[in-house]
Amino acid sequence: MELIYKKADVNDVDTLVDLKIKQMLFFYNRDGLIMKDENEEREKIKKVLLKKLNKTMYFFIAKDEHNKRTIACNGVIIHQMLPDTKAYITSVYTEEDYRKNGIQNILMKMVLDFLNDINCKKIELDASNPSAIKLYKKFGFIKNDIKYILINL
């Protein structure tokens, strides 16, 4: 298996949309939910990516050279919180048949190197998947119970 790792650009938007939809469907199925309108979700995701990709939202991807398919992504949203920069890791996803091959280890290192290069002082993420939590702990993330959330404003 020959993979290419890179920072996503506008040419990768459609494949990022596909991966995000697959990730959402995984969680919807796990939680017994139904996606009301997949096409509407696709359009919303694509609109955000076209507006924010490589401005405040960055994705690092893995592509399988053999079948020319993007098979994994790891995203980060950057917030300028005066005086420092804060980041939120999001959309960490690997196609099921490529999991357990260390792909997210490489992508996470790319994300963290990028954040270090821009002098980011704080990185946050949310996780419920035990495999993902193991990955995050490996990179030094710790659980913090300080966050408050307002849903459906």
Q: What CATH number is given to the structural domain containing 79?
A: 3.40.630.30
**Structural domains counted in the chain:** 1
Using one digit for the tens of pLDDT, what is the confidence trace for 39-92? 999 999 999 999 999 999 999 999 999 998 999 999 999 998 888 889 999 999
The confidence score (pLDDT) of residue 32 equals 87
Contact by Cβ (8 Å): 91, 59: yes
Residue 145 has pLDDT above 80, yes or no: no
Assess if residue 41 is contained within a domain.
yes
Residue 114 has pLDDT above 90, yes or no: yes
Contact by Cβ (8 Å): 70, 107: no
Pairing of strands 84-94, 69-81: antiparallel
Domain that holds residue 115: 3-138
Contact by Cβ (8 Å): 54, 64: no
Assess if residue 73 is contained within a domain.
yes
% of the chain at pLDDT higher than 90: 75
The confidence score (pLDDT) of residue 139 equals 94
The confidence score (pLDDT) of residue 150 equals 67
Assess if residue 36 is contained within a domain.
yes
What is the value of pTM for the model shown?
A: 0.90
Give the pLDDT mean for 114-128. 92
The confidence score (pLDDT) of residue 153 equals 62
Question: What b-and-e string marks burial along 100-127, b requiring 16 or more CB atoms within 10 Å of the CB?
Answer: eeebbebbbebbbebbeeeebeebeeeb
Residue 33 has pLDDT above 80, yes or no: yes
* Stronger pLDDT, 83 or 145, i.e. the higher one: 83
